[in-house]
Structure 1
C-alpha cells in the first residue's frame, strides 16, 4: 500500500511529499524545498523509510533548494523535466537570486524526464504529465485509478487515482505565470486539457496549500472556465 506524507517548509510554505510503500518502506521524495536536515530527520526517524529518488515538479527554488543535499546524503538521483534545465542551472530563472539565496545545479547533478514518460517506482507506474505554464517544464505526476493509499493523518486507506500537481493546480487557484518562462495561455491549456480531463475522483496534492480533487476543481477553479 502507498502512504502519502506531507511536510511544509521553506519561505513560501512548500508542500514536500513522501510517497512511501508501506510493505517495503521505500519512498520517493517530491519537491524537497528547504531544510535538508529536517527532511532527513523525518525520513530516518519518523517515516523510517529508504529513499529511492527525488522528483521535482518544476525547477523553482522553493521546490528544490534541499534537493542536492538530500540526494547526496542518500546517494540517490534527482529528476526534473528536460524543459526546465535552464531553470535548474540559472538562479535568475529559478528565482533563488531574487527571493532567497542563489541555487543552481550542474547538468551532472540531475537527470531528466519528458511529458508522457512512465516512471517505474515503488512497484507502480507514475506517469509524467507535462503541464507547461508556471515554468516551461512544469510537470504533474499521476498514479492511475485503483491506487490504495493512506492520506496524512488518516487510519483507513482510500482508493482513487492520485495527482501530485506541483504549482500547476491549487485548491481554487493555479500557479503564477509572471516569472521567467511562464505563460498564462499555456497554463490554462495544461489545466483544461491535461488535468481536468482526469477522473473526477482523482485526489490532487498541490505544491502549496490543502489537498483537493479534480471534481472540486472542475466545479470551482477559475481556470476551468
Structure 2
C-alpha cells in the first residue's frame, strides 16, 4: 500500500491528510489546506471514501470540498451531516489494500479513533512520532476543555493491546511519518503521558 501525505506542502496549519492508494483509495482526514483536492488528483482520479480520526477543525476544514470533488463516502465515529458510515470500536474497514480495525481512542477528542492493521497504524492525534514537544513518541494535547489525560493514557494502552507484532508504519495526524518499531514509539509516548506533566510547559 502506498500512502501519500497530501498536505505535506501546506503553508498554513493543518493536520496530515493521508491518501492510501490500493484496491480502495481512501483519504484519512481531509485537513485544512487549500488545494488539497488538486493534491489528491495528482495521485488518483477516484476516491472511494474519507475516513476521519476525529472532527477537530484542522482535520475537517476541507472535508466538504473533498467529498464534493470525488463523490466519496464519509466514515466517522461521531455524527456528521454527510456521514455515510458510522464507525464503532472493533469495526473493520478497508483502507488502500489492507483491512484495518477501528480503535476508539478518546482523550484528545471524545470521537477520536485510530485505524490499525497488521502492518500499519493511522493514529490521528492520540499518539504521534514527533510534534515539537517530543521526538520519538509523543501524545495528543489534553489541556483544552473536554479533553482528558486519563482517557488519553487509557487510549494509548488500548492501542498497544491491539497492535500486532510487528507494526512497522505509523502515520500520525501531526509530525513525521515513522517506519520501524511502532510499538516502541507508542510505549515511549505512554511513558511520557503517564508522568502527567504538562505537554507544553509555560
TM-score interval (norm. to shorter): 0.7 to 0.9
The aligned residue for residue 188 of structure 1 is 153
The aligned residue for residue 186 of structure 2 is 217
Per-residue deviation at 1:29? 0.5
Q: State the distance in 2 between where 1:124 and 1:204 align.
A: 14
The aligned residue for residue 83 of structure 2 is 110
Runs of 4+ with >4 A deviation: none
Q: What TM-score do the two structures reach when normalised by structure 1?
A: 0.72
The aligned residue for residue 55 of structure 1 is 51
The aligned residue for residue 152 of structure 1 is none
The aligned residue for residue 40 of structure 2 is 43
CA contact (8 A) 1:195 1:214 kept: yes
Per-residue deviation at 1:108? 3.3
Per-residue deviation at 1:49? 4.1
Question: In the alignment, which of 31, 34, 37 is matched to residue 33 of structure 1?
Answer: 31
Q: State the distance in 2 between where 1:125 and 1:70 align.
A: 23
Q: Structure 2: which 5+ residue stretches go unaligned? A: 130-136, 196-202
Per-residue deviation at 1:78? 1.6
CA contact (8 A) 1:16 1:30 kept: yes
Structure 1 vs Structure 2 CA RMSD: 2.2
Q: Deviations over 1:10-54 (max 9, x none)?
A: 743421100001xx5x51001111235x2221222x213410000
The aligned residue for residue 15 of structure 2 is 14
Question: In the alignment, which of 133, 137, 156 is matched to residue 111 of structure 2?
Answer: 137
The aligned residue for residue 103 of structure 1 is none
Q: Comparing both structures, which one devotes a greater share of its residues to helix? A: 1
Q: 1:215 to 1:197 in 2, by over 3 A?
A: farther
Q: What TM-score do the two structures reach when normalised by structure 2?
A: 0.79
Q: State the distance in 2 between where 1:135 and 1:10 align.
A: 25
CA contact (8 A) 2:92 2:102 kept: yes
Per-residue deviation at 1:219? 4.1
Q: State the distance in 2 between where 1:200 and 1:12 align.
A: 34
Q: State the distance in 2 between where 1:109 and 1:13 align.
A: 21
Q: State the distance in 2 between where 1:180 and 1:74 align.
A: 35
Q: State the distance in 2 between where 1:120 and 1:219 align.
A: 29
